[in-house]
């Protein structure tokens, strides 16, 4: 678990591995954020992984984390999915509106990149939508660049990548 900035109550925000029991709350968060930006959830396709997070991500060599506030509510998510032996994809990185602008997105992205690296990533890709301006800006600040190619997910219109370089085996 990764502790994020503490609150006045002394309880911490935690970024922890997700379990299958978190699936409903994560799905609710993701769908709510998508709808906030006018994007459509795809429960039968691109978002099918959210119905059993605990089984899906480990099965594909990945990791999925949730950001939990001091009252134990899930307010953020980030997934890492293996594309091949050295390429991983950041997926389902969403943050509740009331938690944005506080550094949590940056912390979730860094944890996702760390999880990709320990699994052998040399390159990380992601698909996103331009309407998610804050996320696109965060990715660009971290070094992701827009690349040519068509996204696999209908609601996305950008493909981005980050070269991590050599990672020891």
Chain segment 110-166, per-residue pLDDT in tens:
999 999 999 999 999 999 999 999 999 999 999 999 999 899 999 999 999 999 975
Interatomic CA distance for residues 49 and 113, integer angstroms? 20
> φ and ψ at 95, to 5 degrees?
-140, 135
pLDDT above 70: percentage of residues in the chain: 91
- HEC string of 50-81 equals HHCHHHHHHHCCCEEEEEECCCCCEEEEEEEE
pLDDT at 54: 86
Interatomic CA distance for residues 12 and 112, integer angstroms? 19
Domains parsed from the chain with CATH numbers? 2-121 (3.40.630.30)
How many beta carbons lie within 10 A of that of residue 141, not counting itself? Answer: 10
Q: What is the pTM of this model?
A: 0.89
């Amino acid at each position: 678990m990764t502790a994020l900035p503490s609150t006045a109550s002394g309880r911490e925000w935690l970024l922890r591995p997700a379990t299958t029991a978190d699936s409903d709350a994560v799905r609710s968060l993701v769908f709510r954020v998508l709808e906030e930006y006018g994007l459509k959830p795809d429960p039968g396709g691109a978002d099918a992984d959210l119905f059993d997070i605990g089984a899906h991500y480990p099965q594909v060599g990945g990791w999925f984390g949730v950001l939990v506030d001091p009252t134990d509510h899930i307010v953020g998510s980030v997934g890492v999915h293996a594309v091949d032996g050295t390429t991983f994809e950041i997926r389902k990185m969403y943050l509740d509106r009331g938690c944005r602008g506080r550094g949590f997105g940056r912390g979730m992205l860094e944890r996702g990149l760390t999880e990709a690296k320990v699994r052998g990533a040399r390159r990380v890709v992601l698909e996103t939508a331009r309407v998610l301006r804050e996320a696109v800006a965060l990715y660009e600040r971290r070094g992701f660049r827009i690349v040519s190619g068509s996204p696999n997910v209908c609601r996305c219109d950008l493909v981005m990548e980050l070269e991590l370089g050599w990672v020891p085996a």
